[in-house]
Structure 1
């Protein structure tokens, strides 16, 4: 059974979307699927101004049809809402073909951080985009509740995993010579990641930043005493996690945060705000501290036993993530295409939304 995955996020980008899709492709054949990709590499594209690793594809429905003819997919999954995803969606609708989507990124918040675009406008567009799918995959319970409250339908759960053989506790001198404690951030250096909140904290020891992006120069000027190590991957990244004392995750907009699992797998306790992602991965586990005071969370995380963090990470596997992903695709496609009709224009009434579960937040 051939699965076509249409995505605007692909190499050379280094992010959670690309990592997740790579793992799904690797696991697909063992589950009876033959995954193939439709990406910006299949179209003419240009680099995004100020962010050259992201390519903007000139994707059209006609070009999608040409690619489709050679691939003959049984199933279709649209991973992103960019030009490749949108053109694939249009083709599926024109052909009456069911498809699934996934909600990886809070674009309304990201866009509002860069331009005066009301979040309500962006959510209305996203609600229409995903409303045509037979199932929209979300990574966490809190994200599911949030989107349901905004009128999104056909939501399906798809968790994430971590390679616990690569990311593991180990003796590491990757950060040798730096004053301790070592507070680490790993991720894209862009305004939506809120890295400045981490760098502005009054903390002892050393702040270490791994990653790159359009905000790097500004952040280095903001915190010249911090160590910026650029993009790191694989074993080199695992050694950095293992050498640090606490992982600080300042984002307020991530839908999950695979780096949380990588840090935990290396025995590194997490400090974060009590928001979607950290609430689902960290709250109530004892593997980190969630607090609206990020400094208090970072200092509190230093006291957490590393073995507790490792034990929590072992609950997440890419095998289980893949099982959920492919089961969702089979179930959604079995339901057939969504009937064409009006898409809800706004949030559903609050009384129609399931109340959030009570989650105990460790406040340090």
Structure 2
């Protein structure tokens, strides 16, 4: 099958969306599918205001059109709502081609937190973006329920997976052997929407470590001098960082899933988080973490969780299942009408 994925989130960006899409692409290719990824690095691009690590493609209409025309995909998937996602959406609508989308990020909440744009306006714009999609892939049951309640009529559940060969229990002293224990760890983007001060301001025993980069990093280094900040290079070092932790603290209240929690669990590290969308879906009733409105209480209680329980729970999230669901939701293009429309042009 020839599958085109047009995404504003791709390498060298480091975030959960890129990891999901990259692993999905690799899994599909390993199964014999041909996958075209159209991403910002292929165009003139500029840094996103307030988040310079994300690049926004400029003047991409012709390039998107040329690549999709040349590839002649059997299905088109648009996982992001940025400039490339907009161009791919226009391409499909002009030609009468079906497509699928995904709701990876609570973009309206992110925009509202960083700009004067009212939340209701951002929500209406995103809802309009997804309205023509044959299926909006939601990464968790909670997100599916939220989108359905907001008026989305085409939402389907699509779980995420974790590579349990890369992320597995290892030497806890490989990273930061001299840090006082217990080590309370966060891994992920260092941005305002991750609510990191809720974790970094806690009075906890031992040490706090933040692994990741982002526009808020310099500010948090200045505000929380007792926290160790680190940037991991490559999956091997990232896995070593996870393994060094005794508890993974996830303070976000707006994530749609939170892949980093699965990666921590796969390394045998329990999770402490608020009882909100994302953590409730990842942890469920597994006992592999603690959800509490008191984040400090959750972090301390999580110290008593057996690492084997965490690993066992993470191993239930298979990438084969993720790929099967993705393929099942794709909307085939070449059914007659699309061919006639394309030929007429």
TM above 0.5: yes
> Displacement of 1:232 after TM fit?
4.2
Question: 3-state SS of the aligned residue for 1:144?
Answer: helix
What residue is the counterpart of 1:208 in the other structure? 209
Which deviates the most, 244-253 or 41-50?
41-50
CA distance in 2, matches of 1:239, 1:31: 29
What residue is the counterpart of 1:348 in the other structure? none
> Displacement of 1:59 after TM fit?
4.2
**Counterparts of residues 1-364 of structure 1 (less than 5 Å):** 1-173=1-173, 174-330=175-331
> Displacement of 1:331 after TM fit?
7.3
CA distance in 1, matches of 2:11, 2:63: 20
Which deviates the most, 245-254 or 38-47?
38-47
> Displacement of 1:9 after TM fit?
0.4
CA distance in 2, matches of 1:230, 1:171: 19
1:330–1:50 CA distance, 2 compared to 1 (3 A): closer
CA distance in 1, matches of 2:326, 2:334: 12
Question: 3-state SS of the aligned residue for 1:271?
Answer: strand
> Displacement of 1:332 after TM fit?
9.5
CA distance in 1, matches of 2:138, 2:216: 28
Question: 3-state SS of the aligned residue for 1:323?
Answer: helix
Question: 3-state SS of the aligned residue for 1:117?
Answer: coil
CA distance in 1, matches of 2:91, 2:111: 26
CA distance in 2, matches of 1:333, 1:312: 40
Q: C-alpha root-mean-square deviation of aligned residues, in Å? A: 1.8
Query: Any conservation in 2 of the 1:98–1:134 contact (CA below 8 Å)?
Result: yes
Query: Any conservation in 2 of the 1:254–1:277 contact (CA below 8 Å)?
Result: yes
What residue is the counterpart of 2:341 in the other structure? none
Query: Any conservation in 2 of the 1:134–1:333 contact (CA below 8 Å)?
Result: no
Query: Any conservation in 2 of the 1:140–1:280 contact (CA below 8 Å)?
Result: yes
**TM-score, scaled relative to structure 1:** 0.89
Query: Any conservation in 2 of the 1:175–1:244 contact (CA below 8 Å)?
Result: no
Which deviates the most, 148-157 or 56-65?
56-65
Which deviates the most, 325-334 or 57-66?
325-334
1:148–1:17 CA distance, 2 compared to 1 (3 A): same
List gaps (5 residues or longer) in structure 2.
339-345
What residue is the counterpart of 1:342 in the other structure? none
Query: Any conservation in 2 of the 1:59–1:84 contact (CA below 8 Å)?
Result: no
CA distance in 2, matches of 1:11, 1:205: 35
> Displacement of 1:53 after TM fit?
2.2
List gaps (5 residues or longer) in structure 1.
338-364
**TM-score, scaled relative to structure 2:** 0.94
> Displacement of 1:41 after TM fit?
2.1
Query: Any conservation in 1 of the 2:270–2:303 contact (CA below 8 Å)?
Result: yes
CA distance in 1, matches of 2:181, 2:193: 28
Query: Any conservation in 2 of the 1:158–1:324 contact (CA below 8 Å)?
Result: yes
Aligned residues: 337
> Displacement of 1:33 after TM fit?
2.4
> Displacement of 1:328 after TM fit?
1.1
CA distance in 2, matches of 1:31, 1:327: 14
CA distance in 2, matches of 1:8, 1:123: 19
Question: 3-state SS of the aligned residue for 1:73?
Answer: coil
Give a deviation string over 1:11-58, Cα, whole Å, max 9, x none.
110111111111111111344521111111232211224433211111
